[in-house]
């Protein structure tokens, strides 16, 4: 069937009209192809009605390029590289941390992933979600401080989110007393910082004779930023020396932490776990729960590690968030309330080792819930305490963030 007269271009002879390759109605694709061929017919002396060059009517001539849209305007199809995990290290990594620039968490992120693109987040929850939603490739968050203990919020969030621990970093905490340029200590009436930073410097502040009001702030770097932005000449902040550089503050006192052994441990989180190895020291973090009464289950868990000579570096218990209280009837005194707990354990072994695999297989037999949070290289970077304005280049951060 040939093209109907209503659709056939008037200036193409009937004998050369474009026909479909088979006996089917003339399709829209063929019509577009014909229009494209017509648009490409060269004009002679500016006359669009001049005769067609033999190349169009000659079936032996090379075919014309009939692209209807420029290729550059079309969306690029996804490739496997778009969906592949980001490299473990490098300048392309986007690393989320809690706080503002100048926070100890930012220093931890920089140590864990040098030259990364650090992304500040106002809450721990936001940092978790940034990785889950592919806004960031990694998150570096504190989990425990040598003086302040565990950061329980992050332990709870590890259960609520499906991120994996892929590494750890540690950083000695080096606090400084910061104020606006020209401000003297005797003019101060208030010191602000994160609550743990205030507690970690309490004895030093008293020894300096600073019997002033101490107020809690969201984090150390945010306190320094507030002093600078508000122009507070009666207020000092406890933060890092980098915060002083970023916000134009002077260091009134350097290294004011009460304990030189103040160190915070951070974990690096990713969407996918890493492959455990045995060529270097590894640490594995797990969490479990049990439904049975008494301490026998916990004893069995610890025994599974002890019999295999696996060292534990941490054990932490947290109330079960979904079932925090269970009621037990007591005929004598009425109703008693008992908390159900989740137990977090870190142990020094890789999941690539048979002894670690056997230990978890045994634990799984008498626990109601068991999850491996990550098996990752231990932070073996040497660090030392320093009284300089800059902390040693060791990985990690601070509970005061």
| Burial (CB count <10 Å: 0-12, 13-18, 19+), residue 331 | exposed
* Phi and psi at residue 357, to the nearest 5°: -65, -45
The CATH class for the domain spanning 274-380 reads alpha beta
Q: Kindly report, residue by residue over 137-164, the tens digit of the pLDDT.
A: 999 999 998 888 899 999 999 989 999 9
Q: What are phi and psi of 316, to 5 degrees?
A: -140, 135
Tell me if residue 264 is catalytic: yes
- Contact call for residues 137 and 117 (beta carbons, < 8 A): no
The phi, psi pair for 391, rounded to 5°, reads -70, 155
Measured in degrees and rounded to the nearest 5, phi and psi for residue 105 equal -65, -35
Residue 266 annotated in active site? yes
What is residue 72's predicted lDDT score, i.e. its pLDDT?
Answer: 56
Tokens of 325: 């209280």
pLDDT of residue 298: 86
Residue in 3, 204, 264, 399 annotated catalytic: 264
Fold of 173-255: D-Maltodextrin-Binding Protein; domain 2 (3.40.190)
The edge-to-edge listing of strands for the beta sheet with 369-377 is: 312-319, 341-347, 282-289, 369-377
Question: Of 266, 282, 305, 347, which is the active-site residue?
Answer: 266
Q: In terms of DSSP bridges, do strands 176-179 and 235-239 run parallel, antiparallel, or are they unpaired? A: antiparallel
Q: What was the pLDDT predicted at 319?
A: 83
d(CA 90, CA 357): 32
Model pTM score: 0.71
- What phi, psi does 120 have (nearest 5°)? -70, 145
Is residue 173 within 8 Å of residue 219, measured between CB atoms?
no
87 neighbors 272 (Cβ within 8 angstroms): no
CA-based nearest residue to 326, from 345, 342, 341, 348: 341
Closest C-alpha among 115, 119, 174, 114 to residue 141: 119
Ranges of each domain in the chain? 91-171+259-271, 173-255, 274-380
**CATH for 91-171+259-271, among 3.30.56.10, 3.40.190.10, 3.90.1150.50, 3.40.50.2300?**
3.40.190.10
| End-to-end CA separation in angstroms for the chain | 78
Tens of pLDDT, residue by residue, the chain (401 residues): 444 444 444 444 444 444 444 444 445 555 455 545 444 444 444 444 444 444 444 444 455 444 444 555 666 665 655 555 555 544 479 999 999 999 999 999 999 999 899 999 999 999 999 999 999 999 999 999 888 889 999 999 998 999 999 999 999 899 999 999 999 998 999 999 999 899 999 999 999 988 899 999 988 999 999 999 999 999 999 999 999 999 999 999 999 998 888 899 999 999 999 999 999 999 999 999 887 665 688 889 999 999 999 999 999 988 876 666 665 555 555 555 666 788 999 999 999 999 999 999 999 988 888 999 999 999 987 655 444 333 333 333 333 44
Tell the burial category of 24 from Cβ atoms under 10 Å away from its Cβ (0-12, 13-18, 19+). Answer: exposed
């Amino acid at each position: 069937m040939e093209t109907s007269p209503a659709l056939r271009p008037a200036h193409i002879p009937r004998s050369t009209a474009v026909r479909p390759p088979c006996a089917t109605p003339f399709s829209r694709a063929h019509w577009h192809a014909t229009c494209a061929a017509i648009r490409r017919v060269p004009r002679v002396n500016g006359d669009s009605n001049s005769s067609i060059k033999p190349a169009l009517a000659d079936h032996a001539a090379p075919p014309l390029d009939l692209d209807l849209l420029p290729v550059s305007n079309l969306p690029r199809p996804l490739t496997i590289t778009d969906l592949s995990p980001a490299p473990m290290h490098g300048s392309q990594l986007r690393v989320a941390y809690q706080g503002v620039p100048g926070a100890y968490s930012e220093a931890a992120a920089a140590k864990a992933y040098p030259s990364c693109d650090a992304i500040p987040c106002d809450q721990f929850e936001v940092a978790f979600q940034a990785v889950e939603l592919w806004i960031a490739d990694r998150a570096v968050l504190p989990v425990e401080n040598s003086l302040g203990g565990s950061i329980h919020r992050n332990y709870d969030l590890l259960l609520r989110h499906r991120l994996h621990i892929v590494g750890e970093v540690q950083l000695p905490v080096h606090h400084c007393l910061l104020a606006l340029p020209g401000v003297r200590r005797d003019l101060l009436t208030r010191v602000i910082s994160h609550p743990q930073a205030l507690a970690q410097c309490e004895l030093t502040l008293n020894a300096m004779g600073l019997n002033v009001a101490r107020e809690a702030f969201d984090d150390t770097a945010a306190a320094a930023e507030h002093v600078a932005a508000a122009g507070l000449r009666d207020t000092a902040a406890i933060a890092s020396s980098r915060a002083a550089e970023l916000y134009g503050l002077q260091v009134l006192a350097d290294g004011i932490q009460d304990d030189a052994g103040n160190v915070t441990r951070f974990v690096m989180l990713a969407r996918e776990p890493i492959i455990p190895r045995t060529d270097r020291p590894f640490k594995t973090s797990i969490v479990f729960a049990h439904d049975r009464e008494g301490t026998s289950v916990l004893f069995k868990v610890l025994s599974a590690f002890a019999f295999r000579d696996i060292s534990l570096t941490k054990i932490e218990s947290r109330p079960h968030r979904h079932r925090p209280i269970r009621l037990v009837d007591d005929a004598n005194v009425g109703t008693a309330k008992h908390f159900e707990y989740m137990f977090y354990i870190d142990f020094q072994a890789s999941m690539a080792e048979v002894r670690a695999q056997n230990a978890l297989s045994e634990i799984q037999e008498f626990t109601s819930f068991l999850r491996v949070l990550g098996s990752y290289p231990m932070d073996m970077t040497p660090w030392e305490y320093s009284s300089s304005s800059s902390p040693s280049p060791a990985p990690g951060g601070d509970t005061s963030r």
